[in-house]
Amino acid sequence: MAETIEKVIVINISDSPTGSSDGLVDFFGPSGPIRLLAKGINKPESKNRANLLLGSCVEIEYFKARQKGSIGRLKKSTTLYSLDYSNNLNLVFLTRCLKIFKSLKSKSLPVYNAYFQIIHRLGEGLNKRLLLFILAQSLSYFGIAPITSKCCACSGSYDLCDFSYYEGGFLCSKHSTSQRWNKELKSIYYLFSDLDKFLSMSNDAITNYLYAELLDHLEHNGINIEFLRN
């Protein structure tokens, strides 16, 4: 059977009923969650185990499951990008990100692509902005993404002055009497479209406000976010 090669994110490793030296590895790839049997992963000499650190981006070679309901088998893993696990802030970030991924039961390319972007920026003192960015990309998966290219009330693209998750996104002056700071409006726009520009445009105050606002939006739509509050 031909092997499949994919770039994925390591989400979890657990024991396998096939033997004490084996493990079950959960990944998140471009097609969504993948669980594979990793033979011999718990042996001290296992090269695969060293390349399967939680939160790392890896390239895997594996054999797909032959039957529905069965599990495929991992052949080889190679680390592409990892993070500094000695940094406590990175560990907090990783814990929250892994919980986000575990809440995704099917394909989410926006979140998958966002993680491959943000892993390069960890350790720069921007972890909360990075977490906010990946959370923003998850909204389309949950079906609650806002309109960020035009007024959500009239589809006009001029004089956008406000933003409301409850209303559905950006609002123009004809449909809102509120006026948000221009830097804040630009930060919201880039939050959903361009990581580098979002990181450059936003500041800590804007990030904290937008983070709380996004968590409220998730909570109001019945999505458990307690692990993201602190």
- For the segment 112-148, what is each residue's pLDDT rounded down to a tens digit? 999 999 999 998 999 999 999 999 999 999 999 999 9
| pLDDT tens by residue, 196-211 | 999 999 999 999 999 9
pTM listed for this prediction: 0.92
- Give residue 229's pLDDT: 67
Which residues of the chain are in CATH 2.40.50.140 domains?
4-81
Q: Side chain identity at 172, as an amino acid letter?
A: C
Task: Single out the residue of 104, 120, 105, 103 nearest to residue 56, CA to CA.
Answer: 120
Round to whole Å and give the CA distance between 210 and 44.
45
Q: What is the pLDDT of residue 38?
A: 95
pLDDT at 227 over 70: no
Distance between CA atoms of residues 180 and 24, nearest Å: 48
Class of the domain covering 4-81 = mainly beta
